Amino acid sequence: MKEGQERKAGSATGTLIGKQKAEEHQLEWHQMGGSALAQWQKTERRTLEQRTLEQRTLEQRTLEQRILKQRTLKQRTLEQRTLEQRILKQRTL
């Protein structure tokens, strides 16, 4: 056999084995029945809920940081106005 033909034959064999394994896997799932599928769906749902919770937590932390920055900015502004008033008072005295 030529090298190209050997590769083609090997590829075809690999494809056949891959299909066979997929069919076996599908049969296993079928034999396990709905309970395995239900368990898998339950696991997927939990994973999705966990991701949602993590996302909410991240969004909440981001929001809290924004609020804190805003408060800090307001506090600085207040302190600056107070300082400006003191300076103005001293100049007038």
pLDDT, one tens digit per residue, over 33-62 is 667 778 888 888 888 888 888 888 989 989
pLDDT at 10 over 70: no
CA dihedral 18, 23, 29, 33 (to 10 degrees): 180
The pLDDT value given to residue 4: 57
Percent of the chain with pLDDT over 90: 11
pTM score, whole prediction: 0.40
What is the Cα–Cα distance from 28 to 40, expressed in whole angstroms?
A: 14
pLDDT at 6: 55
